[in-house]
Amino acid sequence: MECALFNLILGAEGVIGLETVVELQNVRKVYRMGDERIVALDDVSLTFERGKIYCLLGVSGSGKSTLLNLIAGLEKPTKGSILFENKHIEKMNEKQLALFRQKYIGFVFQQYNLLPTLTALENVMLPLIFRKTTRTLRRKKALSMLKAVGLGNRYKHKPAEMSGGQQQRVSIARAFVNEPEVVFADEPTGNLDTKTTVEMMDLITGMAKKYNQTLIIVTHNVELSVYCDQIIRIRDGNIESVEDCTERRLAFEASREAERKAAAESGLDAAASEAAVIDAVKASMDAAAAEEFSTGASMFAEAVQSVDSTESNAAE
Query: Which stretch of DSSP H or E encloses residue 219?
Result: strand 214-219
> How many C-alpha atoms does 181 have within 13 Å on its Cβ side?
18
Instruction: Tell which wins on pLDDT, 217 or 10.
Output: 217
| Domain edge (last residue) among 201, 218, 244 | 244
pLDDT at 219 exceeding the cut of 50: yes
Asked whether 161 and 43 are in contact (CB, 8 A), the reply is no
The pLDDT-based confidence of 283 (bands split at 50, 70, 90) is low
The verdict on 136 and 238 lying in the same domain is: yes
For residue 175, is it within any domain?
Answer: yes
Residue 6 lies in a domain: no
Statement to judge: residues 207 and 58 lie in one domain: yes
Indicate the residue among 244, 267, 300 that finishes a domain: 244
pLDDT tens, position by position, 116-138: 999 999 999 999 988 888 999 99
Q: Are residues 70 and 208 in the same domain?
A: yes
Say if residue 137 is in the same domain as residue 181: yes
Residue with more model confidence, 295 or 58: 58
Q: Are residues 295 and 205 in the same domain?
A: no
Given a cut of 70, whether residue 9 has pLDDT beyond it is: no
Residue 301: beta bridge partners? Answer: none
Task: Give the C-alpha distances (Å, rounded to integers) separating 9 from 130, 196, 281.
Answer: 40, 27, 16
Which residue, among 198, 211, 267, has the nearest Cα to 16 in the 3D structure?
211
Query: How confident is the model over 154-181, as a mean pLDDT?
Result: 92
For residues 256 and 109, the model is more confident at 109
Establish if 39 belongs to a structural domain: no
Q: Is the pTM of this model over 0.85?
A: no
Position 16 in a domain: no
Q: Is residue 265 part of a domain?
A: yes
Question: Of the residues 196, 226, 244, which one is the last residue of a structural domain?
Answer: 244
Q: Are residues 240 and 315 in the same domain?
A: no
Which pLDDT belongs to residue 314? 54
pLDDT at 273: 54
Alpha-carbon gap, residue 191 to 287, rounded angstroms: 29
The CATH number covering residue 183 comes to 3.40.50.300
Query: How many domains does the structure of the chain reveal?
Result: 2
Query: Residue 101's CB: how many other CB atoms inside 10 A?
Result: 19
Q: Residue 71 contacts by C-beta under 8 Å, 6 or more apart in sequence?
A: 22, 24, 48, 82, 84, 182, 184, 216
d(CA 175, CA 152): 16
Q: Are residues 63 and 160 in the same domain?
A: yes
Q: Which residues pair with 83 in a beta bridge?
A: 23, 88
- For the chain, how far is it from start to end, CA to CA, in angstroms? 35
Angstrom distance (rounded) from CA 286 to CA 109? 30
Q: CA-to-CA distance for 97 and 73, rounded, in angstroms?
A: 6
Please list, in sequence order, all residues whose beta carbon lies within 8 angstroms of the beta carbon of residue 22, skipping any fewer than 6 positions away: 46, 47, 48, 71, 82, 83, 84, 182, 214
Give domain status of residue 278, yes or no.
Answer: yes
**158 and 145 co-located in one domain:** yes
Q: What is the mean pLDDT of residues 81-92?
A: 94
Q: Is the pLDDT of residue 8 over 80?
A: no
Give the domain extent around 273: 247-316
- Residue 233, H or E segment: strand 230-235
Q: b vs e for 121-151, b when ≥16 Cβ sit within 10 Å of the residue's Cβ?
A: bbbbbbbbeeeebeeeebbebbbebbebbeb
Clarify whether residues 228 and 301 are in a common domain.
no
Looking at the domain assignment, is residue 79 inside a domain? Answer: no
One domain for residues 159 and 281: no
Whether 212 and 275 share a structural domain: no
Strand order in the sheet with 105-109: 105-109, 182-186, 214-219, 53-57, 230-235, 238-244
Do 235 and 256 belong together in one domain?
no
Burial class (CB in 10 A: 0-12, 13-18, 19+), 86: exposed
